[in-house]
């Protein structure tokens, strides 16, 4: 039967069969049916529905936990979880960010301002039944003061502490080296002494082996699986009252689009985005059913920083900042040529507020706006005049040149990971180009090296501000400058201004809130005038949640504020489950259809396989003839 | 295939048509003659390969130390950036990580410890790096291993069929389809699958989870099903993007065999076409595919960073990305070493196995 053999004369039927085979393979691939077992798999989640009426709030997160030890944790995800696990001495009112009682019910300074006495509440219990006392707090602070490893995350809070004692279980006494106005803003989780004194090496203990973890916050950590989920259950005995949800789960979605998809599906109740949902994502979610987009005033400022001439504490100059920027008029002219309105409308697509003072408006007490006379409004003509006055005139080619005849060409440091930096960089090139100034936008994955080395002219800068502004103010003092050139230091932008420093020292020693706020505003005013650091925008925090799972949730500030990463536990503690949110609903909707479809796909594939097999048998049979 | 393929392999040696006793001793009965001599030759060959691998491993160990110190960025600055830290805290971290020591001292300490399997403690996670790696390794192996098996089988099978019917509509369709998928960015395909099959669009219901490896509330057999359920979409994505390579290699090496005389002989014996392909042509065309297979196998350890990210799979790819962005030196060094070691070991294994598959190799 020689004629049958040569492959070069395939009979049409064979071609069809081959095509079928390929098609089946392609179909199998596309239908995702190549792995056995999938049709049945929705079952386990469905099974959970029988667990009673447990309500679960699922939050999509992306950032990996660095450590669950409050002594080591540095990342937002970890410190947010610690807020839920442990009570701090004080908390911040969701309404207006004022310090309010937490583990401490009262705090008072001594007449000489150097001793603070805290009254510790008597109704806070650790989850293992023991009472939380002043001794736990004293032990926590003392550990941070004596063990370098325990100071890793919060050491800066105890830097000015001389002695911490607990004369009675209800009284905590902190003695200071210098007066410090921030004593109602000690964001340090207080841990149970009887558990933590057994820990040997604090630099290696991550608090993630034994569950549930003993705590006294509104939630108790019950389970943690690296990069998969973190689970906490409600602390029914929490002194402020039990949370309304029975369980909160932080589930990992490393890709923000995937997290948004999970929200649409109902797999998660809440998505924050890191740091925010993109304009496109929020636009698409706004029209989705049962989803509320929370376009909240953020806690960040987004600023244009100019290199004031990098130097060390003792005045040694280093780096290569452009000398023209040492002239205040040049710095102010540059900022006056920045059209903040366009940045808000085009780059942030409306999800930001135009910049004014250093501290964002959500912190009302400290929010400052420049007076009409001092405001550096967008005014290219005035900017050009200022530059002329400073001696940078346009040459024949339309370029501004200095007295030395060199054209004014600047560089700006941009974070390659931040699309806003890149977009605004383009605008700056255009606006400053019109003024006759050249700009090179230098986008890097890692800006910290040139930054610390002072090798930049301008930079995109931004910080997240705390209810107590001390830290973001401290990073512009002369004391924050590095000891040696290029060494890392607390300074943000090498600013060292005598007037600013004097005001800083005064506010830190001012225990009267109103007077202190006034001093802080004076600092902001001074900073604004120097032109070293001008805020372009306060970006919003855009986040979204499912209204069919969360009925209500407290934002911070409560009138209009954010949900994720609050300075307190208000959002998760206050969240009220929606009627349909009882167990399972936070997972898959329509799983039973899923099972049916899955089975359907499996049947189709099996049938296809069977058909192929049958055809094969037939041809084999022919071959045997 | 071992029993089946041996005769085919022996027949193979295209170009070496007679069994000469000397010379490059192809195959067939001649190989059986000086068995002890060939065994020693093989052992010497294998030992050479193993020694080469050991040297490569050491070179990787040294490279990994210096390579990642070239990345711009200071780990301590990067980790403390944007946080409230004092200068003392920064100095303390440097001391703790040993970054205050001179480079040569860091290097000798690293080498000394690495030789005993201790790669140090991760900067950002404060845990022994080997613990972090062994935590993420199973997830990666499960994902890439499953995908590897599936795309290898599909690739070889479709590749062989395509070559056998080359030029036909099926071949063209098949190759074009595979190449199209091959050129699709995996994260994009992954997102499409999430939108269609996880969330559901129109009449298509969302039947698969959006991400992660488990729901976190199943146990026992339910847990296995749960993980399998989560595994489907990432595996499909990986297979779709990867199978083209195996397919193309298989197809072209089989095409090379197509005109061979031994196939005509086989047909002349009256063998069915399928048998000619399966027993005679395919085994001979397998060698290049086996090479690719081992390379792929070595790469499975490195994970698939994009697919792991889109599907939030807690594997090594994601860990490597996090380690690089700090840079978390002990962790990147160890991961780099593990990834390279996997490839080196697999290549060595391939080298060692070749002579068993094709006696021409290694003489």
Does the pLDDT value for residue A516 go beyond 50?
yes
- B199 CA: distance to closest CA in chain A (Å): 5
The pLDDT of A56-68, averaged and rounded, is 93
Tell me, what's the pLDDT at A202? 92
> What's residue B89's pLDDT?
77
pLDDT of residue A601: 55
Overall average pLDDT of the A403-428 stretch: 92
Q: What pLDDT band is residue B16 in, cutting at 50, 70 and 90?
A: very low
Quote the pLDDT of residue A34. 35
Using the Cβ of A19 and the Cβ atoms of chain B, whether some distance falls under 8 Å is answered with yes
> Hey, are the CB atoms on B165 and A15 less than 8 Å from each other?
yes
* Torsion sign (Cα): A334, A339, A340, A345: negative
Predicted confidence (pLDDT) at residue A268 exceeds the cutoff of 50: yes
Residue with tokens 């001794």: A135
Q: In 10 A of CB A512, how many CB atoms?
A: 10
**From the list A34, A40, A265, which residue is nearest B239 (CB)?**
A34
Q: Do residue A66 and residue B125 have CB atoms under 8 angstroms apart?
A: yes
User: A19, A35, A468, A598: which to substitute to probe chain B, counting the most B Cβ within 10 Å?
Assistant: A35
The pLDDT value given to residue B102: 85
Taking the Cβ of residue A115 and every Cβ of chain B, the question of whether any pair is shorter than 8 Å is answered with no
Would you say residue A199 has pLDDT above 80?
yes
Q: pLDDT by residue (tens digit) across B292-342?
A: 888 888 877 776 888 998 999 999 988 988 888 778 899 999 999 999 998
Contact (CB<8Å) B168/A15: yes
Question: With contact defined as beta carbons under 8 Å apart, do A595 and A40 qualify?
Answer: yes
Subunit contact B225:A44, Cβ cutoff 8 A: yes
Check CB contact under 8 Å for A594 and B207.
yes
A557 preceded by a cis bond (ω within 30 of 0): yes
Tell how far CA A42 is from the center of its chain.
33
pLDDT in tens, A316-371: 999 999 999 999 999 999 999 999 999 999 999 999 999 999 999 999 999 999 99
Report pLDDT for A600. Answer: 52
* Interface test mutation site (partner B, options A34, A224, A491, max chain B beta carbons within 10 A): A34
Tens digit of pLDDT for each residue in B87-134?
777 788 888 888 888 888 888 888 888 888 888 899 889 899 999 999
- From CA B94, how far away is CA B329, in angstroms rounded? 13
Dihedral over alpha carbons B134, B140, B144, B149 (to 10 degrees): 50
Q: Which of A149-153, A264-268, A335-339, A354-358 has the lowest mean pLDDT?
A: A149-153
| Phi, psi dihedral angles at A411 (to 5 degrees) | -125, 150
Is A45's CB within 8 Å of B225's CB? no
Question: Do the Cβ atoms of B72 and A444 come within 8 Å?
Answer: yes
B218 vs A64: CB contact, 8 Å cut-off? no
- What would the pLDDT profile of A593-623 be if each residue is shown by its tens digit? 444 455 455 555 555 655 555 555 555 544 4
Residue of A nearest to B233 (CA): A32
Element (H, E) at A101: strand A99-101
Specify the pLDDT at position A606: 56
Nearest CA in chain B to A231: B216
Cβ distance A276 to A541 under 8 Å?
yes
| Closest residue in chain B to residue A595, using alpha carbons only | B207
For chains A and B, what is the number of CB pairs under 8 angstroms? 267
Give the highest mean pLDDT range of A59-68, A148-157, B197-206: A59-68
Q: What is the pLDDT of residue A372?
A: 93
Over residues A460-480, the pLDDT tens digits come to 999 989 999 999 999 999 998
pLDDT at A611: 55
Q: Is 0.90 surpassed by the pTM of this model?
A: no
Q: Which of residues 158-217 of A touch B (CB under 8 A)?
A: 159, 203-204, 206
Cβ-defined contact of B198 to A265 (cutoff 8 Å): yes
**What are the φ and ψ backbone dihedral angles of A248, each rounded to 5 degrees?**
-125, 130
Q: Which of A26-40, A184-198, A410-424 has the lowest mean pLDDT?
A: A26-40
CA distance A597 to chain B (A): 8
Q: Tell me the pLDDT tens digit for each residue of B19-45.
A: 333 333 334 444 444 556 778 888 888
Q: Could you tell me which CATH class the domain B132-327 is placed in?
A: mainly alpha
Query: What is the tens place of the pLDDT at every residue in A85-106?
Result: 999 999 999 998 899 999 999 9
Nearest CA in chain A to B189: A30
Which of A4, A15, A262 shows the shortest C-beta gap to B210? A262
């Amino acid at each position: 039967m020689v004629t049958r053999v040569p492959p070069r004369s395939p009979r049409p039927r064979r071609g069809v069969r081959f095509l079928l085979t390929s098609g089946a393979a392609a179909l199998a691939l596309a239908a995702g049916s190549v792995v056995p077992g999938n049709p049945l798999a929705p079952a386990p989640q469905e099974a959970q529905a029988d667990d009673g009426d447990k309500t679960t709030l699922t939050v999509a997160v992306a950032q990996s936990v660095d450590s669950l030890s409050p002594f080591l944790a540095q990342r937002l995800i970890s410190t947010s979880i610690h807020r839920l696990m442990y009570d701090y001495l004080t908390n911040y009112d969701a309404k207006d960010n004022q310090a309010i009682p937490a583990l401490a019910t009262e705090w008072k300074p001594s007449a000489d301002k150097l001793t603070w006495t805290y009254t510790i509440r008597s109704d806070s219990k650790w989850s293992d039944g023991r009472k939380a006392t002043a001794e736990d707090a004293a032990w926590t602070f003392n550990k941070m003061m004596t063990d370098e490893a325990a100071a890793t995350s919060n050491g800066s809070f105890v830097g000015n502490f001389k002695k911490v004692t607990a004369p009675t279980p209800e009284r905590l006494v902190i003695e200071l080296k210098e007066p410090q106005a921030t004593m109602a803003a000690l964001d340090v989780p207080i841990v149970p002494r009887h558990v933590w004194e057994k820990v040997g090496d604090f630099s290696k203990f991550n608090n993630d082996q034994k569950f549930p973890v003993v705590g006294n916050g509104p939630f108790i950590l019950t389970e943690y699986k690296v990069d998969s989920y973190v689970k906490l259950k409600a602390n029914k005995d929490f002194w402020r009252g039990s949370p309304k949800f029975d369980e909160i789960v932080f589930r990992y979605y490393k890709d923000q689009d995937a997290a948004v998809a999970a929200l649409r599906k109902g797999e998660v109740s809440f998505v924050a985005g890191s740091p925010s949902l993109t304009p496109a994502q929020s636009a698409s979610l706004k029209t989705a059913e049962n989803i509320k987009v929370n376009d909240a005033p953020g806690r960040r400022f987004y600023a244009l920083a100019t290199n004031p001439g990098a130097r060390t504490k003792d005045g040694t100059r280093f780096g290569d900042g452009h000398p023209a920027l040492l002239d205040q008029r040049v710095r102010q002219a540059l900022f006056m040529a920045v059209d903040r309105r366009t940045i808000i409308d085009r780059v942030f697509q409306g999800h930001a507020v135009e910049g004014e003072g250093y501290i964002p408006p959500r912190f009302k007490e400290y929010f400052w706006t420049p007076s009409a006379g001092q405001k550096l409004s967008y005014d290219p003509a005035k900017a050009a005049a200022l530059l002329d006055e400073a001696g940078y005139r346009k040459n024949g080619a339309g370029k501004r040149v200095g007295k030395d005849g060199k054209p004014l060409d600047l560089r700006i440091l941009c974070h390659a990971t931040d699309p806003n930096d890149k977009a605004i960089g383009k605008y700056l090139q255009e606006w400053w180009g019109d003024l006759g100034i050249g700009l090179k936008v230098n986008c890097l994955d890692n800006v910290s090296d040139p930054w610390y080395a002072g090798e930049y002219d301008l930079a995109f800068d931004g910080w997240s501000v705390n209810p107590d502004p001390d830290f973001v103010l401290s990073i512009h003092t002369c004391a924050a400058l590095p000891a040696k050139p290029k060494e890392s230091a607390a300074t943000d932008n090498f600013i060292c201004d005598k007037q600013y420093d004097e005001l800083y020292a005064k506010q830190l020693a001012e225990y009267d809130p109103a007077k202190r706020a006034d001093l802080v505003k004076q600092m902001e005013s001074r900073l604004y005038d120097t032109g070293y650091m001008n805020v372009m925008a306060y970006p919003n925090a855009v986040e979204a949640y499912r209204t069919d799972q969360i009925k209500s949730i407290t934002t911070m500030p409560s009138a209009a504020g954010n949900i994720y990463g609050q300075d307190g536990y208000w959002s998760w503690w206050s969240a009220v489950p929606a009627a349909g949110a009882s167990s399972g609903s936070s997972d898959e909707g329509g799983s039973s259809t899923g099972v049916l479809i899955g089975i359907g796909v499996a049947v189709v594939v099996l049938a296809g396989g069977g058909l192929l097999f049958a055809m094969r048998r037939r041809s084999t049979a022919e071959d045997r003839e | 295939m071992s029993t089946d393929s041996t005769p085919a392999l022996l027949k193979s040696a295209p170009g070496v048509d007679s069994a000469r006793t000397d010379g490059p001793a192809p195959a067939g009965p001649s190989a059986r003659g000086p068995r002890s001599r060939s065994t020693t030759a093989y052992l010497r060959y294998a030992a050479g390969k193993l020694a080469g691998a050991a040297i490569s491993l050491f070179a990787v160990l040294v490279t990994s130390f210096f390579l990642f110190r070239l990345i711009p960025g200071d780990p301590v600055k990067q980790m403390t950036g944007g946080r409230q830290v004092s200068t003392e805290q920064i100095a303390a971290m440097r001391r703790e990580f040993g970054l205050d020591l001179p480079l040569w001292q860091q290097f000798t300490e690293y080498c000394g410890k690495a030789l005993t399997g201790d790669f140090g403690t991760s900067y950002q996670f404060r845990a022994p790096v080997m613990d972090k790696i062994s935590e993420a390794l199973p997830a990666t192996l499960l994902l890439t291993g499953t995908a590897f098996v599936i795309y290898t089988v599909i690739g070889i099978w479709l590749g062989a069929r395509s070559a056998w019917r080359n030029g036909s509509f099926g071949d063209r369709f098949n190759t074009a389809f595979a190449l199209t998928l091959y050129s699709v960015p995996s994260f994009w395909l992954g997102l499409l699958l999430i939108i269609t099959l996880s969330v559901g669009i129109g009449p298509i219901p969302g039947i698969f989870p959006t991400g992660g490896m488990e729901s976190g509330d199943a146990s026992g057999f339910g847990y296995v099903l749960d993980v399998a359920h989560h595994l489907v979409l990432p595996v499909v994505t990986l297979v779709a993007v990867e199978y083209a390579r195996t397919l193309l290699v298989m197809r072209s090496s089989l095409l090379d065999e197509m005109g061979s005389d031994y196939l005509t002989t086989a047909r002349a014996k009256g063998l069915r076409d399928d048998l000619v392909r399966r027993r005679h042509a395919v085994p001979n065309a397998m060698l290049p595919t086996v090479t690719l297979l081992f390379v792929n196998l070595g790469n499975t350890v490195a994970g698939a960073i994009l697919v792991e990210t889109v599907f939030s799979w807690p594997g090594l790819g994601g860990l490597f990305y996090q380690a690089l962005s700090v840079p978390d030196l002990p962790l990147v060094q160890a991961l780099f070493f593990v990834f390279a070691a996997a490839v080196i070991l697999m290549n060595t294994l391939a080298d060692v196995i070749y002579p068993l598959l094709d006696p021409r190799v290694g003489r």
